[in-house]
Structure 1
Amino acid sequence: MNLFRAVRAVSEASGDGPVDWHAVGEAAKAATDPGDLDLSPAQQQAYADDVKAAHRRIEEVAGVEFDLPDTVELHHRHHWIDANVPTFRRVLDELDVGPAVVPGVARTLNTGSIAASVGFLANHVLGQYDPLLLSDHDEHRLYFVHPNIVKVADMLDADFPRFRRWIAFHEVSHAAEFGAAPWLDDHLESLIQDTLEDISAIQFDRSDLKEIDTTMTAVEGYAELLMDQTFDEEYADLRAKLDARRNAGGPISTLFRRLLGLGRKRRQYERGKDFFESVAAARDVQTAAVVWESPDNLPTDEELDNPTRWLRRMDV
């Protein structure tokens, strides 16, 4: 980790755009310890075995069929930065800032703030299922940030193989959603692009933002349901410890979480989980997968708080 090099990368930001993306990656990596990725073949295989177990169990319990990437990627923090900076760039490049030349000071501030956000996330992301949404690759990917999983398992005083397996089940649950709903990538990307176009035109359409929030609430909630139904051990203690760790974060961590919307993501988990638990209790887990048959089957904002209304609309 080299903070001087990070500051220099930001201060030397150049180009014609509002952000120097090369400098973002360089600064984020310079300010972030990559972590250890020296794993034995057996340790690498353990990740793959967890993913296979999760795949088999979720298909069996949820009644959905889905494919997984051929390779389970194990990353350190710098790998995660390299994998995700292009996605940040693609999202922000959708914003039309017009033909005016961006002043150097503004470019430096933009580059520095994004680099800080990327570095913060690189130190906290445990695993990631990366669909085709807002990406420049043509295959979905599944990767785990091994140094972060080791660090958090140690901080929580959790058994590492059990914690690693729990993270694998969570990410494979997301793969199940996108696999069961081939339309989901395009649906979310269209909503995001519409929102960015509105922002570029200095407009504000709450309906698009609300629909994004509703869709992501369904995505996060269904993954939580699958975790509850398929993980082969009780994990309430892991969830409680992880929540306590988030709540006990220092002022800088709390600020970044608010700026990056991570508090909203927690609310999406909880609200979506309540919806799908109610559906599964009233019918069964397989009925919950009806959500992914069509965009029209997604719950509305009102239905998220009234699952019975959704069940009636689906006639299931």
Structure 2
Amino acid sequence: MADDSRPDDGQNPSNDDNSENGGTGDEFRDMLRDILAGNSSIDPSQLAGAAGLPNDPASVAALMNQLQGALRGSGDGRVNWDIALKQGQERARAGQLTATDEQRTQLEQAFHIAALWLDDVVSVAELTREPRLMTRTEWVTATLPLWSQLAEPVATSISDSLTKVLTEQAPEELQGMIAGASQVMRSLGGTLFAMQLGQVVGQLSSEVVSGGDIGIPLLDEQQAALLPQNVAVFGEGLDIPSDQVQIYLAVRELAHARLFRHSRWLRLHLITSITEFAHGIRIDTDRLEDLASGFDPSNPEELRQAMVDGSLIPPKSDAQLAALGRMETMLALVEGWVDVVTAEATSRLPKSDAIAETVRRRRASGGPAESAFATLVGLELRPRRLREAAAMWQAVTDAVGNEARDALWAHPDILPTSEDLDDPQALIARLTRTASGAEPVLDEVDAALEDLLRDDDTERPRED
């Protein structure tokens, strides 16, 4: 029980109120306050380790402030994503450099050249918003809302499952206490998850070079952006003139942004698919029960490790695997199209092939923060069928040209399928017939429908 001499901060009722709904919850709340105030044997630096933070005084103090805020404002138990934003911004600011005037001028010129070159090879419309040059912190601020949307189903599932398991595993004399403070526990669990996500996104800000670098549309559909500091790091050690690197990356980014601007349905379709997949993720309660049965509050490292290594997320169900396959196909179609139009638009750059190979190697390996997001949320962002998609788009381009290729993005029903990636010849034959003005070859469903309509017209009585 907390010391009665502690000043009342007005955030919770008196401990004398031992009503069924409030007393045990207040007792648990006071126990947490003792921990956060340092009046406990639990070392705050160990809690910082559980949140994935460096073990330094500033990080520990920041963690205590965040957890105290969660304790005060834990009425509804929802995840406070402002915490993730603050963590991400702080991580991004570490080592951040401001772009020089020369860098900004060079990249603005690169965007201008990229727009002109893309106009020659694509039929998708230009952006109505000027491209941006972002610092790492600005990238975190602009993209965190979408990261939070993608991660929220998993964060909520972990918090709810952890609360349930700890309640069931607690000794009988403590179950009432924990049950009465379930919203507090849920908020604290959500806070730790949000801090983990903020750390991951903050680290990602030092790895990405542009708004579309991850593949998913993190920025608005009208926005293209480059991160000057990361563009400079990308070009280090390549023995390639910096202006060629800048133009190549500007072309890729503009191509990505233009595609999402052209196909207005695409961004919502992709984000909805990812969110629905995340909603299907369930937590391995058996693993959680094992952790809870031996949980030592003074050493939360095992719980933190389980949260970040993906072991709490069980193998995907058949339905999830099917949804993941559809999502990967869509991501591969986007990235493959960007690869093809970028290669064509930058063909006049002497070192474009070398830069493209660097992009491919970098994309294949991913970065440490990207891997951390995959284990934290259970979703890998890199499409596995990118080579097949790029080969298909190139074959389509060679067969029917840029305009007919880009017209396939008009609606999801006419977009190439996974089967088209396996064997694009049927798709190319269909597009070639259409381009030549010949009657299209109907598939079995369309042919049956046409026969049905023809029979209906034949049987209908003629009007005199």
TM-score range, shorter chain: 0.7 to 0.9
2:461 is matched with: none
Deviations for 1:176-211, whole angstroms, at most 9, x for unmatched residues? 312332221232233234334444799844333222
Q: Alignment partner for residue 274 of structure 1, among 391, 396, 401?
A: 391
Closer, same or farther: CA 158–310 of 1 in aligned 2, 3 Å: same
Q: Which residue of 1 aligns with 2:241?
A: 159
Q: Percent same amino acid at aligned positions?
A: 21
What's 1:21 paired with? 81
Paired residue for 2:150?
91
Offset at residue 132 of structure 1 (A): 11
Read off the aligned partner of 1:269 and give its amino acid letter: L
C-alpha distance in 1 between matches for 2:132 and 2:227: 9
Find out whether 1:211 has 2:326 as its counterpart. yes
Q: Unaligned 5+ residue runs, structure 1?
A: none
Counterpart CA distance in 2 for 1:91 and 1:106 is 18
Aligned to 1:9: 62
Change (3 A) 1:259 1:167: farther
- Give distance in 2, aligned partners of 1:278 and 1:159: 31
After TM superposition, give the deviation of residue 24 of structure 1 in Å. Answer: 1.8
- Tell me if the contact between 2:363 and 2:382 (Cα under 8 Å) persists in the aligned partners: no
Aligned to 1:72: 131
Paired letter, 1:9: A
Q: Is the 8 A contact 1:271 1:304 kept in 2?
A: yes
**1:98-148 residue CA offsets vs partner (Å, 9 max, x unmatched):** 79634465334412321231122111110114999677x6x6222111111
Runs (5+) with no aligned partner, structure 2:
1-52, 164-181, 284-315, 435-464
Q: Does structure 2 retain, via aligned residues, the 8 Å contact 1:51–1:168?
A: yes
Matched, 1:50 2:110: yes
Provide the residue aligned with 2:252 in structure 1: 170
Shift of 1:272: 1.7
Residues 71/21 of structure 1: CA separation in 2 closer, same or farther (3 Å cut): same
The structure-2 alpha-carbon separation of the partners of 1:186 and 1:307, relative to structure 1 and needing over 3 Å to count, comes to same
> Partners of 1:225 and 1:244 in 2: how far apart?
16
Give the AA of the match of 2:243: P
How many Å separate the matches in 2 of 1:254 and 1:185? 20
* Structure 2 residue corresponding to 1:224, chosen from 326, 339, 344: 339
2:96 corresponds to which letter in structure 1? G
8 Å Cα contact 1:10-1:108 kept in structure 2: no
> Post-superposition shift, 1:169?
0.3
2:232 counterpart (146, 150, 156): 150
Separation (CA, whole Å) in 2 of partners of 1:10 and 1:246:
33
Pair 1:293-2:410 in alignment: yes
Q: Return the alpha-carbon distance in structure 2 between the equivalents of residues 264 and 163 of structure 1.
A: 24
The Cα of 1:259 is off from its aligned counterpart by: 3.8
Which string of whole-angstrom CA distances, capped at 9 and with x for unpartnered residues, describes residues 205-260 of structure 1?
4333222211111100000000111113141212334555677899x579548648
Separation in 2, partners of 1:208, 1:276: 23
State the partner residue of 1:140: 222
Structure 1 residue matching 2:390: 3-state secondary structure: helix
> Structure 1 residues 148 and 43 mapped into 2: Cα distance closer, same or farther (>3 Å)?
closer
- Of residues 14-23 and 141-150 in structure 1, the stretch that sits farther from structure 2 once superposed is 14-23
Code of the residue aligned with 1:56 in structure 2: it is L
The answer to whether 1:81 aligns with 2:140 is yes
Q: Which moved more, 1:16-25 or 1:218-227?
A: 16-25
Contact 1:34 1:77 in 2 (8 A): no
The answer to whether the 8 A contact 2:204-2:369 is kept is no
Q: Partner of 1:31: helix, strand, or coil?
A: helix
Q: CA 1:285/1:23 → structure 2, altered by over 3 Å: closer, same or farther?
A: same
Q: Bigger shift: 116-125 or 239-248?
A: 239-248
TM-aligned CA distance change 1:36 to 1:206, over 3 Å? same
Number of aligned residue pairs: 310
Q: C-alpha offsets along residues 10-34 of structure 1, whole Å, 9 cap, x if unaligned?
A: 4534254464422222223333425
Query: Would you say 1:37 and 2:98 are equivalent positions?
Result: yes
AA in 1 matched with 2:84: V
2:271 partner letter: E
Instruction: Summarize the Cα distance change of 1:58–1:153 in structure 2 as closer, same or farther, 3 Å threshold.
Output: same
TM-score, L = length of structure 2: 0.58
Query: Cα RMSD (Å) of the superposition?
Result: 3.6
- Matches for 1:229-244 after TM superposition, within 5 Å: 229-231=344-346, 232-233=348-349, 234-243=351-360
* 1: CA distance, partners of 2:371 / 2:276: 28
Q: Is the 8 A contact 2:255 2:338 kept in 1?
A: yes
**Residues in 1 aligned to 2:270 and 2:250: alpha-carbon distance in whole angstroms:** 24
Q: 1:23 to 1:289 in 2, by over 3 A?
A: same
